[in-house]
Every structure is written in structure tokens, then in C-alpha cells.
Amino acid sequence: MTSLPIDQLIDPRRGLISREIFVSPEFHQQELERVFSRAWLFVGHESQIPKPGDYFVSRMGDESVILCRDADGKVHVFLNSCRHRGMKVCRYEQGNTSLFVCPYHSWSYTTDGKLQGVPMYRALYDGTLDRSQWSLIETPKLEIYKSTVWASWDKDAPDLMTYLGDAVDHLDQVLDCRDGRPGGSEVIGMHKWIFPSNWKFAAENFLGDTYHNPSHRSVDMIGIGPSAQRGQRRDNEYAKGQHVWVGFPQGHGMHSVHMPKQFDYQPGYAQYPEVEEYFRQAFYERQRRLGDKARLLPFTGNLFPNTSWHGRQPRALCVWHPHSTTETEAWRFFLVDADAPAAVKDVLRRFYMRYSGPAGMTEQDDMENWLYATQASKGTIARRYPLNYQMSMGAYKVDDPIPGMVSTQITDQTPRNYYRVYARYMKGDAWDSLLGRDLQPIQRAAE
């Protein structure tokens, strides 16, 4: 790796980002220490752990963690590693238990993380081992928002709502019921797979890289959407809307749509009349319930650093877990309204499967792009040349018509903003800086 300081590798003012941050092995460990040990990370969904004793093994950065609902119903996130010799205390993916028993020496932990069983405790440890000091390592910060569970390893991290800022308005469009009731989603299944590329290419894709649409031409040609006979890979629900690409001081970015004041339902799901009727009713109910707020509708987004979403067609949260600089483990949590009729859920899950992930006809092409963008940036000569992020420089307004740095044209402004924040994490800045509190609107406008 070059010894260039991060500010020279990441230059949002000129729209230049060094390839080093995508390919240099040293960045992996630095990111784990400076980004993933501080930022709020998505860990799982309450629908995966509904009952006391339920657990779901998740990841934070490159480490295994256990999302667990204890016997009293309280939710925890623990590092999945025994305090004695480090063995994973749980190697199942999901289940229900009263104890996590380490396979190695049989130390056991209750569902609230406390060390309970130590074999031959009296004979071997009495007077030495204070069991209360050897609980499973727990994230100091955990919050649940509309059934999604988030955690941070930084005890000084701000609360989740401060961290999300105004980006939460967009996250709501993913998590709320289609008819506008708050929350109410459930996870109907997951993908887990490995791809050989840098995780940030994936995150960036969801920050609002609408420019890569041509790479999905094949699915638009053949039509795989819910109205496939009209072609395209999804319905055009936002025909009359103003597309917006929005960045936030905390590094989040997204592509959403701001609909006109009077906007009407755009029929979709042409192949499935029953589902069409459901979404039609949900549309009008949502307008009635939310009023002017119903004008915001989601496409894609990425919450800093590595939680992405698709908001409607399909609807899922994705997490990009770095294994190394050039290898990523991707997890996708597919969402539906928990109380949607079975026929609706069935149509949605079938659409999700043919659209998303490694078997998804749309996203296969993304993985191809990310892989070869990573591989072709590894070379000595390639690394001398920065990547170009100069699209739509300065072409955005602040808090107009919605909060954030808002562009009404396709833009690299959201990734420029993301890497500006990334650089602050990599320098070990204090939270005021990571949250962009120094950026007043006028300064933000000057980028």
C-alpha cells in the first residue's frame, strides 16, 4: 500500500477515489478496527427470534455474533466466542436454547450471556474465577427499530436515531407496511453467499448508482417483473415521480422517489390480479394514513457502512460482510408484511428469488461487475489511477424538497459523500465529525 494519507486517497472535492481502498489488503484490518468496531450495524430482525430463548447467529464485520432473546424476552447481541479458549459457542444458524454450551471444555452461558457452568469449578477454580466477570462479550449498544436489530461495539456511539438522522424517513419506506402502518415486516428467508470482490462496491451500488442500469439490460429485455409480459424487470410504480438521490451527513445515501402532490396509483402486478388488488388497496390506505408523507417512495439505499436495501420490488435488507479486501460474504434478508395474505407473500417470494442474489437474474450481473472491478484494479499500474466519481458535481440542493443533500439527476454525490465520511472513520475522528455535525447546510452545499 502507498503511504498516502487517506485524504489524498479520497478526494471528494475533485471526485477522485484511489483504487487502493478497494484492493489493498491493509485496508481490510483498518476498516474492521476503525469502521466496523464503531458504526451501527444491522444484526437481524425480531421475526427471527420471536420467543424467549430464540437465537439467530449473525455477523458484525468479520466476526460471528449471536442475536438472542433471553429467558425474560430481552434482546442481546454477543460475540460468538467462549471466554475460556475462544471456541464458537454456537455453530447452528438459528434455534431455541436455554444455554449456549461450548463444545471445547463445556463452559456454558445462559441466554442473557452470563457464565453459568464451569466443569469442576470447585476443584479447579474456586477462589480464583469470578464467574460474573466472564460473561459472553456483549455489544455495549443495541437498539431495535421497527423490528430491526442494530448494534455497535462503540460504547460512545450516538443513539441509533441520531446515527440514522433524516435517512430514517427512507428506511421507514422499507420497514413499514405497504398500507403505511408503522413496522410490521417479517423476514421470509435469507441468502448467504460469497463473492470475490470488495464489499464497498456492493454498498456503493445501493447508494443510488442508477447509472449502472445498462448492465441489467438483459432482464429488461426479457421481462421478469410482476407484469413481465410488458417487459422490464419490475413494475414502473413511480411513473410520474421525481427521482431523488439523497446523501446525509452521516454517510448514508439512497435513491428514492418524491411523488407529485396529487399522484395516483400506477397499476402493477398485471400477472397476478389478486396481488394487484392488494397493492391497490394498500396504496390508497397509505395515502389516507400518511398524507403528504406518502409522497416518498423507496428504490435503493445504503446506511453507512454496509446495510443496503431494495425498498419495494424486490424488498430486502442486505449486509455486506468483509472477509478480506477482495472477498465479501453477502447476506440478504427478504421482507414482506407479516400480515399480508399468503397468496401475496407467495408471488413476492417468487419474484424476489428470480430477481435477487446469486440465483437472481438481475443481480448476477452486479456480482460480475463487482468481481472484475476488484480484480482489474489490483494491478500496480491500475492502482496509480484513481476511479472517477465526477458525475453531477455540485448538482444538488440542501433540504429541498426533502431533507438531505438532494440531487434530481443521477449523481456520484452520494458515493462522494459516503467516502468523505469513510475517510473520517479511517482517521479515527470523534463522533461529532462522523455524524457530520461540522457540516452546516451552506458548507454541505459547497461539498
Partner 1 sequence: MKRSLAYFELKQEIEEFLCHEADLLDGRKFRDWLDLLADDLVYFMPIRRNVKFGEHEELENTRQGEGISWFDEDKWTVTKRVEQILTGVHYAEEPLSRVTHMISNVRLLDVKPSVEDPHEVTVGCRFLVYQSRVEYENYTFIGRRTDILRRHGEAWLIARRELILEQNVLLAKNLSILF
Give the phi and the psi of residue 40 in degrees, each rounded to 5.
Answer: -75, 130
User: Considering the rule CB under 8 A, would residue 68 count as an interface residue with partner 1?
Assistant: no
User: Considering the rule CB under 8 A, would residue 195 count as an interface residue with partner 1?
Assistant: yes
Q: How close are the terminal C-alpha atoms of the chain, in Å?
A: 28
Structural contact between residues 114 and 76, judged by C-beta atoms closer than 8 angstroms: no
58, containing H or E segment: strand 54-60
Strands 253-258 and 99-101: unpaired
Structural contact between residues 136 and 89, judged by C-beta atoms closer than 8 angstroms: yes
User: Considering the rule CB under 8 A, would residue 93 count as an interface residue with partner 1?
Assistant: yes
Q: What cell numbers appear for 37 in the block?
A: 468496531
> Whats the size of the chain, residue-wise?
447
User: Considering the rule CB under 8 A, would residue 239 count as an interface residue with partner 1?
Assistant: no
Could you give the CA distance from residue 47 to residue 263 in angstroms, rounded to a whole number? 33
**Which residue, 26 or 93, has its beta carbon nearer to partner 1?**
93
User: Considering the rule CB under 8 A, would residue 50 count as an interface residue with partner 1?
Assistant: no
**Vertex 371 angle, CA 370 and 375, to 5°:** 115
DSSP annotation of 252 reads -
Instruction: Choose, by CB under 8 A, the member of 52, 183, 358, 386 that binds partner 1.
Output: 358
Q: How far is the CB of 210 from partner 1 (least distance, A)?
A: 17
CA distance readout (Å), 394 to 12, 210, 407, 447: 11, 18, 9, 7
**Which residue, 96 or 266, has its beta carbon nearer to partner 1?**
96
Instruction: Choose, by CB under 8 A, the member of 101, 361, 373, 391 that binds partner 1.
Output: 361
Instruction: Choose, by CB under 8 A, the member of 334, 396, 418, 425 that binds partner 1.
Output: 334
User: Considering the rule CB under 8 A, would residue 221 count as an interface residue with partner 1?
Assistant: yes
User: Considering the rule CB under 8 A, would residue 240 count as an interface residue with partner 1?
Assistant: no
Q: How far is the CB of 364 from partner 1 (least distance, A)?
A: 4
Could you give the CA distance from residue 265 to residue 294 in angstroms, rounded to a whole number? 12
User: Considering the rule CB under 8 A, would residue 270 count as an interface residue with partner 1?
Assistant: no
User: Considering the rule CB under 8 A, would residue 367 count as an interface residue with partner 1?
Assistant: yes
User: Considering the rule CB under 8 A, would residue 203 count as an interface residue with partner 1?
Assistant: no
**Which residue, 220 or 429, has its beta carbon nearer to partner 1?**
220
Instruction: Choose, by CB under 8 A, the member of 368, 400, 432, 438 that binds partner 1.
Output: 368
Q: What cell numbers appear for 108 in the block?
A: 456454558
Site for partner 1 in 140-169 (CB under 8 A): none
Task: Give the binding site for partner 1 (CB under 8 A).
Answer: 91-95, 188-197, 215, 217-219, 221-224, 228, 329, 334, 346, 349-350, 352-354, 358-359, 361, 364-365, 367-369, 371-372
